């Protein structure tokens, strides 16, 4: 059973979806630690409620992003992390962190990448006036939301939709596909060739 570490900065709704899927035996892996860069992140409480190891790693104790990330890597290696899952982790990862876990870091983004990368992808899509948007699970590389796509789910934008209602429906899609992508990784069902990520038997 693969060891999963989750990095989260805020409420941790995707973390909760992952925890719930693991409880239902829909993920062939175990969450061994949750780490946040915010002491008051509700994600830490979600972890503690399930007796999952939870830590606040204070960025102010480190001189720069590189040193913080090296400390983060050390904590993840201490629990033999095999997959790093970003669940609303609002810090850009340094190249050193990405190199420590090549093709072993997953992120979810609230748009159909490569459209609308970066912050506020959902709002960007909504303001652009797209008819279809959605969410994307991808591996993290050195670029911004540029790693190989693992899974996507399209979400149509309904006429007279508000950003708030669209957000609810995209979050529901995220909670479906993120646990699925994690389970595929844990069962060694993902193979990356160049930019393409294949699901293998």
Give catalytic residue positions: 109
Give the containing element (helix H, strand E) for 189.
Answer: none
Burial of residue 111 (CB within 10 Å: 0-12, 13-18, 19+) is buried
The C-alpha angle with vertex 192 and arms to 188 and 197, in degrees rounded to 5, equals 90
Spatial CB neighbours of 116, under 8 Å, sequence gap ≥ 6: 122, 124, 125, 128, 133
Ordered alpha helix ranges (H), 58-111:
65-78, 95-100
| Cβ pair 111, 82 in contact under 8 A | no
């Amino acid at each position: 059973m693969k060891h999963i570490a989750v990095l989260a900065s805020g409420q941790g709704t995707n973390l909760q979806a992952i925890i719930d899927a693991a409880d239902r035996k829909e993920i062939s892996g175990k969450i061994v630690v949750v780490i946040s860069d915010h002491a008051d992140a509700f994600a830490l409480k979600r972890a503690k409620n399930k007796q999952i190891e939870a830590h606040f790693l204070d960025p102010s104790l480190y001189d720069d992003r590189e040193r913080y990330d090296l400390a983060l890597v050390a904590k993840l290696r201490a629990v033999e992390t095999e997959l790093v899952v970003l669940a609303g982790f609002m810090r850009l990862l340094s190249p050193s962190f990405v190199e420590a876990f090549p093709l072993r870091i997953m992120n979810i983004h609230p748009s159909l990448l490569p459209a609308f990368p970066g912050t506020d992808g959902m709002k960007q899509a909504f303001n652009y006036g797209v008819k279809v948007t959605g969410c994307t699970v991808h591996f993290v590389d050195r670029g911004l939301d540029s790693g190989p796509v693992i899974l996507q789910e399209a979400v149509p934008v309904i006429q007279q939709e508000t950003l708030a209602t669209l957000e609810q429906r995209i979050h529901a899609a995220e909670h479906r596909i993120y646990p699925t992508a994690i389970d595929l990784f844990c069962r060694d069902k993902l193979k990356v060739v160049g930019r393409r990520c294949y699901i293998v038997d």
